[in-house]
Amino acid sequence: MRVPVSWLRAYCSPELDTFAIGERLAMTGIELERVETHGVSALEHFVVGKVLEAHRHPDADRLTVCQVDTGDDAPSQIVCGAWNVAAGQTVAVGKPGSVMPDGTRLKTAKLRGEPSAGMILAEDEVAIGIDHDGIMVLDDALAAGTPLAEVLPIADEVLVLEVTPNRPDELGVYGVAREVHAATGAPLAPAPWEDPAAPDLGSAGDLSGHATVEVQTDRCLRFTARAFKNVTVGQSPAWLKARLSAAGMRPISNVVDVTNYVMLLTGQPLHAFDLDKVAGHALTVRAATAGEPMQTLDGQTRTLDPEMVLIADREGPTSIAGVMGGARSEVSSETTRVLLEVATWDGANVHRTSLRLGLRSEASGRNEKGLQPEQAMHAQIVATRLMVEVCGATVVPGTIDIGGEGPPPQVIRLRDARITGLLGLEIPRPRVAEILSALQFGTTDAVDGLDVSVPAFRRGDITREADLIEEVARLGALQDLPATLPPRRGAAGALTPRQRLARAAADALVAQGLFEIIGWSFEGPELAARLGLQGTPHVMLRNPMSAEQSRMRTTVLGSLLDVAQRNRSRGATALALFEAGAVYLPLDGDPAGRETAEPQHLGALLSGPVRPGSWRDQTPPDADFFAVKGVLAGLLGAAGVPWELRPFAAQTLPAPPFLHPGRSAEVIIGDERAGWIGELHPSIAGQWDLEDAVAAFEIDLDVVAGHVAPAGYRDVTSYPEVREDLAVVVAETVPAATVVATALQAGRPLLVGAEVFDVYRDAERVGDGHVSLALRLRYRASDRTLTDEEVAGRRKRIVKALSAQLEGRVRDS
Partner 1 sequence: MSEITDTIAQIESEAAVAIATASSTEALEEVRVRFLGRKAQLPNLLRGVAQLPPQERGAVGKAANQARQGLEAAISAREGDLAASELQARLASDRIDVTLPGDPAPRLGRLHLLTRTRREIEDIFIGMGFSVAEGPEIETVYYNFDALNSAPTHPARLETDTFYLEDGLDPFDHLAPSARLLRTQTSPVQIRTMQAGPPPVYTIAPGRTYRPDSDATHTPQFTQVEGLAVDEGVTLADLQGTLLHFARAIFGPEREVRLRPHFFPFTEPSVEVDVSCFNCQRGIVTDGGRCPICKGTAWLEILGAGMVDPNVLAHGGPAYDPEQVSGFAFGMGIERIAMLKHGIPDLRLFYDNDLRFLEQV
420-459 residues in contact with partner 1 (CB under 8 A) are 421-425
Pick the piece of the chain touching partner 1 (CB under 8 A) from 202-210, 367-375, 378-386, 779-787.
367-375
Question: Interacting stretch for partner 1, rule CB under 8 A, among 94-102, 258-266, 476-484, 738-746?
Answer: 476-484
What is the residue-wise DSSP string for 633-663?
HHHHHHHT--EEEEE-BTTTBPPPTTEEEEE
Site for partner 1 in 369-398 (CB under 8 A): 369-370
Is the CB of residue 235 less than 8 Å from the CB of residue 251? yes
Which region among 4-12, 518-526, 777-785, 787-795 touches partner 1 (by CB under 8 A)? 518-526
CB of 633 to partner 1, least distance (A): 16
Cβ proximity to partner 1, 89 vs 353, nearer residue: 353
State phi, psi for 370 to the nearest 5 degrees. Answer: 85, 85
Q: Compute CA distances 348 → 26, 82, 169, 219, whole Å.
A: 28, 50, 17, 9
Q: What angle do CA 178, 183, 186 make, to 5 degrees?
A: 70
Measured from the CB atom, the residue of 153 and 175 that comes closer to partner 1 is 175
Greatest Cα pair distance, the chain, in angstroms, is 130
Q: Which stretch binds partner 1 (CB under 8 A): 244-252, 323-331, 514-522, 763-771?
A: 514-522
Check binding of 535 to partner 1 (CB under 8 A). no
- Candidates 290, 495, 587, 653; binder of partner 1 (CB under 8 A) is 495
Q: What gap in Å lies between CA 667 and CA 185, rounded to an integer?
A: 71
Q: Is 614 in the site for partner 1 (CB under 8 A)?
A: yes
What region does 127 belong to: left with phi over 0, alpha with psi -120 to 50, or beta? left
Nearer Cβ to partner 1 (21/40): 21
Q: Which residues contact 283 (CB under 8 A, 6 or more apart)?
A: 211, 212, 213, 214, 225, 273, 311, 312, 313, 318, 339, 341
| Cβ-based neighbours of 169, under 8 Å, separated by 6 or more | 175, 178, 267, 372, 457, 458, 461
C-alpha–C-alpha distance, residues 505 and 638, integer Å? 7
Among 28, 89, 284, 607, the residue binding partner 1 under the rule CB under 8 A is 28
Site string for partner 1, 115-154 (x = CB under 8 A): ----------------------------------------
CA distance linking residue 797 with residue 747, whole number of Å: 7
> From the CB of 485, what's the least distance to partner 1, in Å?
5
Residues 6+ apart with CB under 8 A from 427: 419, 420, 472, 476, 477
Q: How far apart are the first and last CA of the chain?
A: 89
Toward partner 1, which CB reaches closer, 135 or 639? 639
**Under rule CB under 8 A, how many of the chain's residues touch partner 1?**
100
**Nearest C-alpha neighbor of 213 from the set 292, 312, 81:** 312
Spatial distance between the Cα atoms of 698 and 505, rounded to a whole number of angstroms: 13
Q: Select 572 or 799, whichever has its Cβ closest to partner 1.
A: 572
Question: Which residues, 563 to 602, sit near partner 1 by CB under 8 A?
Answer: 563, 566-567, 570, 572, 574-578, 581-582, 584, 591-592, 594, 596, 598
Which region, left, alpha or beta, applies to residue 261 given φ > 0 means left and ψ of -120 to 50 means alpha? alpha
Candidate residues 104, 301, 333, 496; the one interacting with partner 1 per rule CB under 8 A: 496
Query: Which of 130, 282, 529, 541 is in the footprint of partner 1 by CB under 8 A?
Result: 541
Mark 394-413 as b/e (b = at least 16 C-beta within 10 Å). Answer: ebbebbbbebeebeeeeebe
- 412 bridge partner residues: 452
593, 587 Cβ separation under 8 angstroms: yes
Q: How far apart are CA 309 and CA 320, in angstroms?
A: 6
Work out how close the CB of 41 gets to partner 1 at its nearest, in angstroms, rounded to a whole number. Answer: 21
Only segment of 88-96, 217-225, 609-617, 672-680 that touches partner 1 (CB under 8 A)? 609-617
Q: How far is the CB of 577 from partner 1 (least distance, A)?
A: 8
Among 113, 497, 544, 686, binds partner 1 (CB under 8 A): 544
Scanning residues 645 to 664, which ones bind partner 1 (CB under 8 A)?
Answer: none
Selected binder of partner 1 within 497, 612, 621, 654 (CB under 8 A): 612
CB 534 to partner 1: min, Å: 18
Q: Which stretch binds partner 1 (CB under 8 A): 55-63, 91-99, 331-339, 535-543?
A: 535-543
- CA 617 – CA 285 distance, rounded (Å): 86
Q: Which is nearer to partner 1, 478 or 759 (CB)?
A: 478
Q: Which is nearer to partner 1, 459 or 795 (CB)?
A: 459
Print the SS3 string covering 401-446. Answer: EECCCCCCCCEEEEEHHHHHHHHCCCCCHHHHHHHHHHCCCEEEEC
Of 103, 407, 482, 712, the one binding partner 1 (CB under 8 A) is 482
Among 197, 494, 650, 763, binds partner 1 (CB under 8 A): 494
By CB under 8 A, name the one of 55, 112, 611, 723 that touches partner 1. 611
Options 12-20, 128-136, 197-205, 536-544: segment touching partner 1 (CB under 8 A): 536-544
Q: Is 631 helix (H, G, I), strand (E, B) or coil?
A: helix
CB nearer to partner 1: give 216 or 420. 420
Strands annotated E in 177-262:
212-215, 220-229
| Beta strands, E only, 41-108 | 46-57, 60-69, 76-80, 90-94
257 vs 579, beta carbon nearer partner 1: 579
Question: Which residue of 552, 627, 659, 766 would you call a contact of partner 1, by CB under 8 A?
Answer: 552
Strand-pair category, 316-320 with 324-325:
antiparallel
228 vs 578, which CB is nearer to partner 1?
578
Q: How far is CA 440 from the centre of its chain?
A: 34
Angle 622-628-633 from CA coordinates, rounded to 5° = 140
Task: Choose the stretch contacting partner 1; rule: CB under 8 A; options: 69-77, 129-137, 504-512, 666-674.
Answer: 504-512
- Among 509, 680, 726, 746, the residue binding partner 1 under the rule CB under 8 A is 509
| Minimum distance, C-beta of residue 266 to partner 1, in the bound complex (Å) | 21
Per CB under 8 A, does 486 bind partner 1?
yes
Residues 299-358 that bind partner 1 (CB under 8 A): 347-348, 351-352, 355-356
| Least gap, CB of 625 to partner 1 (angstroms) | 20
Residue closer to partner 1 (CB basis): 382 or 528: 528
CB of 562 to partner 1, least distance (A): 9
Tell me the residue type at 774: A
Candidates 134-142, 375-383, 496-504, 788-796 — which segment interacts with partner 1 by CB under 8 A? 496-504
The answer to the question of residue 686 lying near partner 1 (CB under 8 A) is: no
Sequence-distant (≥ 6) Cβ neighbours of residue 197 within 8 angstroms: none
Q: Which of 9, 45, 95, 167 binds partner 1 (CB under 8 A)?
A: 167
Please, what is the minimum distance in Å from the beta carbon of residue 609 to partner 1? Answer: 10
Among 332, 499, 782, 785, which residue sits at the site for partner 1 (rule: CB under 8 A)? 499
Cα angle for residues 404, 406, 410 (degrees, 5° grid): 155
Site for partner 1 contains 769 (CB under 8 A): no
